[in-house]
């Protein structure tokens, strides 16, 4: 398997263009699978598409190869998008390996936000750009129409494909209950994420659900229930039989607030950290589960005693809130249900900052109930 990051892909393409040479391989089958915002997990529809692609590969000639090209929309930094496009290509690769496509016949290309097929200025265009293109290539991968070139481009072989983990999964139990009454809640949506998996399940009649996860990966849970604030819990290293209790708080009357947990921005920036991007779909789901809810999205910054609050920092708090507002607006939540506001450092939870954790808790985005 060969892996070509974006800059090498561009260099390789330029070499072929200016040398007047071309590969003798042609695509006999192409397929595109799509991804949710900031995600690299495959949907059921994507897996069905890849099953058809594997079937087409099996019918191809003996020298056929599969090329997987990963892409993103333009959200986030170039470096973040490049890494995400790599994970998307690798997710497709793992699915095809499971469908018996030989690893040595697969090439990966990850291009980040480069080569968009649609505009990134609207939700539908971004959806089309969050993709992986899979091509079945037939023919000999040799240069034609030229003698031996005077110069050549070579690529180091990457490490072999990631092996199937030998770490034994563990079973953990999640219990969802009302924070006030302590009563368990049935049919609560439990969205869970590890380094390699993203899924959603519902609690049973007793408010419980069992998950099978890898203990070597942090487990991030987000629980959503109509009429309640969304609630997240992170388990750094799950162990067999562990019970995780998630207590959710009812949405209060006007004025009640709740911080958006696990939501972090790059330092002095409005760009979300990569690990925080999965939070946005959860906030969207929360707003959809509570269609009458009207909220204010408030941004906050953390200022140490020896720092001075400046207009730029005040704007930063407002612009961070606007990032959440814009995402919800672009995904169908009406502007009539939302507003956003920057609070600067006026509502710091820890005015005398002693730890990094306190600093992070000050630097937050909150939802304030306006009407329900």
Q: What is the pLDDT of residues 219-253, one digit of tens each?
A: 989 999 999 999 998 898 899 999 999 999 999 88
* One domain for residues 359 and 263: yes
* One domain for residues 191 and 119: no
- Judge whether 155 lies within some domain: no
Domain final residue pick, 94, 112, 144: 144
Domain final residue pick, 193, 224, 250: 250
Give the residue with greater pLDDT, 149 vs 354: 354
Q: How far apart are CA 99 and CA 49, in angstroms?
A: 12
* One domain for residues 63 and 74: yes
* One domain for residues 295 and 325: yes
Of 26-35, 109-118, 119-128, which gets the smallest average pLDDT?
119-128
Q: How far apart are CA 221 and CA 243, in angstroms?
A: 13
Domain of 218?
166-250
Q: How far apart are CA 141 and CA 66, in angstroms?
A: 12
Average pLDDT for 121-145:
74
> Would you say residue 104 has pLDDT above 60?
yes
pLDDT given at position 5: 54
Confidence of residue 15 (pLDDT cuts 50, 70, 90): very low
Domain final residue pick, 222, 250, 278: 250
- State the Cα angle at 40 between 82 and 63, rounded to 5°: 80
* One domain for residues 264 and 287: yes
- Judge whether 213 lies within some domain: yes
pLDDT given at position 34: 93
Residue environment code for 172-186, b if the CB has 16+ CB neighbours within 10 A, otherwise e: bebbbbbeeeeebbe
Q: How far apart are CA 78 and CA 133, in angstroms?
A: 19
Average pLDDT for 286-297:
96
- Judge whether 13 lies within some domain: yes
To which residue do tokens 């998996």 refer? Answer: 197
- Judge whether 160 lies within some domain: no
- Judge whether 173 lies within some domain: yes
Which range is most confident: 61-65, 95-99, 214-218, 271-275?
A: 95-99
* One domain for residues 204 and 277: no
* One domain for residues 90 and 17: yes
Residue 223 sits in a domain whose CATH number is 2.60.40.1120
Residue 100 sits in a domain whose CATH number is 3.30.1330.60
Model confidence pTM above 0.75: no
Give the residue with greater pLDDT, 35 vs 372: 35
* One domain for residues 213 and 237: yes
% of the chain at pLDDT higher than 70: 85
Give me the number of domains the chain comprises: 3
* One domain for residues 218 and 323: no
């Amino acid at each position: 398997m060969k892996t070509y990051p974006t800059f090498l892909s561009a260099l390789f393409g330029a070499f072929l263009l200016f040398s007047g040479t071309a590969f003798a391989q042609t695509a006999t089958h192409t397929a595109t699978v799509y991804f949710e915002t900031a995600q690299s997990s495959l949907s059921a529809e994507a897996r069905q598409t890849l099953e058809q692609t594997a079937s087409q590969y099996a019918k191809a000639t003996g020298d056929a190869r599969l090329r997987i090209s990963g892409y993103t929309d333009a959200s986030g930094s170039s470096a973040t998008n490049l890494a995400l496009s790599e994970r998307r290509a690798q997710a497709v690769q793992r699915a095809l390996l499971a469908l018996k496509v030989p690893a040595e016949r697969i090439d990966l290309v990850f291009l980040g936000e480069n080569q968009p097929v649609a505009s990134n200025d609207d939700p539908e265009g971004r959806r089309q750009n969050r993709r992986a293109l899979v091509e079945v290539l037939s023919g000999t991968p040799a240069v034609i129409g030229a003698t031996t070139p005077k110069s050549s481009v070579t690529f180091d072989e990457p490490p072999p494909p990631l092996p199937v983990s030998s770490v034994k999964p563990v079973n953990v139990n999640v219990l969802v209950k009302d924070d006030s009454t302590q009563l368990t809640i049935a049919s609560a949506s439990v969205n869970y994420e590890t380094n390699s998996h993203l899924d959603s399940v519902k609690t049973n009649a007793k408010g419980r659900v069992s998950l099978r996860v890898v203990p070597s990966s942090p487990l991030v849970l987000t629980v959503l229930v109509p009429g309640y604030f969304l609630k997240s819990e992170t388990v750094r290293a799950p162990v067999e039989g562990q019970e995780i209790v998630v207590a959710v708080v009812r949405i209060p009357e006007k004025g009640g607030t709740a911080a958006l947990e696990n939501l972090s921005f790059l330092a002095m920036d409005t760009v979300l950290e990569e690990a925080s991007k999965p939070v946005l779909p959860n906030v969207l789901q929360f707003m959809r589960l509570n269609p009458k809810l009207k909220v204010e999205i408030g941004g906050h910054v953390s200022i140490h005693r020896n720092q001075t609050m400046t207009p730029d920092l005040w704007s930063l708090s407002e612009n961070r809130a606007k990032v959440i507002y814009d995402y919800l607006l672009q995904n169908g939540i009406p502007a009539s249900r939302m507003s956003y506001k920057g609070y600067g450092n006026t509502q710091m939870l820890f005015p005398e900052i002693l730890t990094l954790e306190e600093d992070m808790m000050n630097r937050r985005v909150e939802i304030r109930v306006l009407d329900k």
